Amino acid sequence: MTRQGVALALLGLGLLALGRILGLVELYIVGSAALGACVIALLLVWLRKLDLDVSRHLQPPRVAAGTSSRVDLEIRNLARSKTPVLRMRDEITGTRGADLLLAPLPPGGATRAAYRLPTSRRGLVDIGPLSFEYTDPLGLARSRIYSRRQSQLTVLPPILPVAPVPRSITDTPMNGAEQRASWSRSHGDFYALRNYVVGDDLRRVHWASTARHDDLMVRQDELPWQGRLTVLLDNRRQSLDHDALDLATSVAASVMAASRARSDLVRLVAADGLDSSFVTGNHPWDAVMEQLAVLSATPHGSLRTAVETVRRREAGGAVAIISGRLTEEELTMVNGLGSHFRAVIGIVIHPSAVDATVEDPEIDLNGGDTSGIGSSITVSRSRPFEDQWNRTVASLSSKH
């Protein structure tokens, strides 16, 4: 029963009671009519059977935070009777959901509906289940059916336009790669295989691997003077809270995307044990971005373990360390990476960058007082990341 139905049923019962007390037949008639209307409404919604086929598509299924995705729904009536006006509700985590009204569908008829799904922060957004609600003509009773199909939208951290770290003069084509593949019988050496992307030269297709993986695999040739960038993200809860970690993941994605656009190898290491190794190709990169989308602040992470993981493979190139405030012991530990990498850049996320109630700190623009790391910047409310990063990279480029 709807609220109107419950109110009408209570009114009918009250009129019956009042008619008995006063002995008025007219009150009996009106009360009985009210109760009868409620019973008929319940029967109407109970006897109506819906048979709907529903499909949901996300366009696109992966978006950056701050942009929107389009949710397309197709509803087909498989019953032999016309559907009533349906109120459709799609549950969406973190929101009130999407409400739409559907006009009646004839037998075998279909309709499409769509809505925009805005995103504010990274993570996974669960969409569904989808419910359909219909009422009797008087709105006294209602019934609801569910479509259990669910979808998931991946919201990636936004990528900011920044310059790539300068390449070191010691960067070599194979240094830092996982393993060199030397079993090719062709004249061109390569170090990795990746999935075929539209536009690739078909002459680079490796047919033996294609037959084994049941998907087109392309040889990734060596790149001359290929640079490498390792990003160490300190996602310990005592270092970065939830809001600061959102900004930190965006910084990490931006720095790696800038180097990847130059065909450098990139690697992501986090304090919770995450290590992506150096990645190349679209699929490994997509996996790294999805890891950044779901990365959470951990209470049990270890910065020392993360530093040892980075140091274990002496690959040269550059390393960027993203964290909150570090203790003197942690600074000393991080500074030790300078003997393994040609460039070490520290990025400190100050609380004022994400919390308007925190006072903006007085910081030397050169970053000399923030961490003691080789090159260091502090991101705050008045000092956005992009400007400071580009200034630091330009300074490093002039030294090389």
- CATH code: domain of residue 148: 2.60.40.10
90 and 103 co-located in one domain: yes
**Domain C-terminal end among 156, 177, 204:** 156
- Asked, for residue 175, whether it belongs to a domain, the answer is no
Q: Please compute the mean of the pLDDT values over residues 33-39 and round it to a whole number.
A: 93
Distance between CA 216 and CA 286 in Å, rounded? 18
Q: Of the segments 46-50, 154-158, 189-193, 375-379, which one has the largest average pLDDT value? A: 154-158
| pLDDT over threshold 80, residue 24 | yes
Distance between CA 222 and CA 200 in Å, rounded? 15
247 and 381 co-located in one domain: yes
Instruction: pLDDT band for 310, please (50, 70, 90 cuts).
Output: confident
Distance between CA 389 and CA 396 in Å, rounded? 11
Instruction: pLDDT band for 131, please (50, 70, 90 cuts).
Output: very high
29 and 62 co-located in one domain: no
pLDDT confidence of residue 40: 93
326 and 243 co-located in one domain: yes
pLDDT tens-digit profile of 112-126? Answer: 999 999 898 899 999
Q: Please compute the mean of the pLDDT values over residues 354-381 and round it to a whole number.
A: 67
pLDDT confidence of residue 363: 56
pLDDT tens-digit profile of 86-114? Answer: 999 999 988 888 999 999 999 999 999 99
Query: In this structure, what CATH number is given to the domain that contains residue 259?
Result: 3.40.50.410
Minimal CA–CA distance to 43: which of 146, 133, 136?
136
pLDDT confidence of residue 177: 40
Distance between CA 289 and CA 122 in Å, rounded? 10
Tokens of 362: 């007085």
- Asked, for residue 209, whether it belongs to a domain, the answer is yes
Of 361 and 297, the structure prediction assigns the larger pLDDT to: 297
pLDDT confidence of residue 28: 87
Q: Please compute the mean of the pLDDT values over residues 388-392 and round it to a whole number.
A: 89
Instruction: pLDDT band for 225, please (50, 70, 90 cuts).
Output: low
Q: Please compute the mean of the pLDDT values over residues 220-227 and round it to a whole number.
A: 60
**Are the C-beta atoms of 88 and 56 separated by less than 8 Å?**
no
- Asked, for residue 185, whether it belongs to a domain, the answer is no
**Domain C-terminal end among 177, 204, 221:** 221
16 and 60 co-located in one domain: no
- Asked, for residue 198, whether it belongs to a domain, the answer is yes
pLDDT confidence of residue 9: 92
pLDDT tens-digit profile of 270-283? Answer: 999 898 888 877 88
216 and 234 co-located in one domain: no
37 and 121 co-located in one domain: no
- Asked, for residue 10, whether it belongs to a domain, the answer is yes
392 and 249 co-located in one domain: yes
209 and 296 co-located in one domain: no
pLDDT tens-digit profile of 257-269? Answer: 999 988 888 999 9
pLDDT confidence of residue 367: 41
- Asked, for residue 93, whether it belongs to a domain, the answer is yes
pLDDT tens-digit profile of 151-176? Answer: 999 999 999 999 998 875 444 444 44
388 and 266 co-located in one domain: yes
374 and 329 co-located in one domain: yes
- Asked, for residue 136, whether it belongs to a domain, the answer is yes
Number of structural domains in the chain: 4
Minimal CA–CA distance to 129: which of 79, 77, 92?
92
Enumerate residues 6+ apart whose C-beta is below 8 A from 22. Answer: none
Question: What range defines the domain where residue 70 resides?
Answer: 52-156
- Asked, for residue 178, whether it belongs to a domain, the answer is no
Q: Please compute the mean of the pLDDT values over residues 140-144 and round it to a whole number.
A: 92
- Reported pTM: 0.74
Nearest 5°: the CA angle 329, 331, 332 is 65
Provide long-range contacts, Cβ within 8 A and 24+ apart, for 212-217.
Answer: 217/193
- Mean pLDDT over each residue of the chain, to the nearest integer: 83
Minimal CA–CA distance to 282: which of 200, 163, 169?
200
125 and 77 co-located in one domain: yes
Distance between CA 393 and CA 396 in Å, rounded? 5
Minimal CA–CA distance to 44: which of 13, 10, 1, 6?
1
Tokens of 136: 């009797």
pLDDT confidence of residue 364: 47
pLDDT confidence of residue 316: 67
Largest CA distance in the chain: 106
Block residue for tokens 């550059």 = 318
| pLDDT over threshold 50, residue 181 | no
Of 7 and 188, the structure prediction assigns the larger pLDDT to: 7
Instruction: pLDDT band for 185, please (50, 70, 90 cuts).
Output: very low
Instruction: pLDDT band for 294, please (50, 70, 90 cuts).
Output: very high
DSSP letters, 229-298, are EEEEE--BTTT--HHHHHHHHHHHHHHHHHHHTTT-EEEEEETTS-B--SB-SHHHHHHHHHHHHH---B
| pLDDT over threshold 50, residue 311 | yes
Minimal CA–CA distance to 128: which of 53, 52, 50, 54?
54
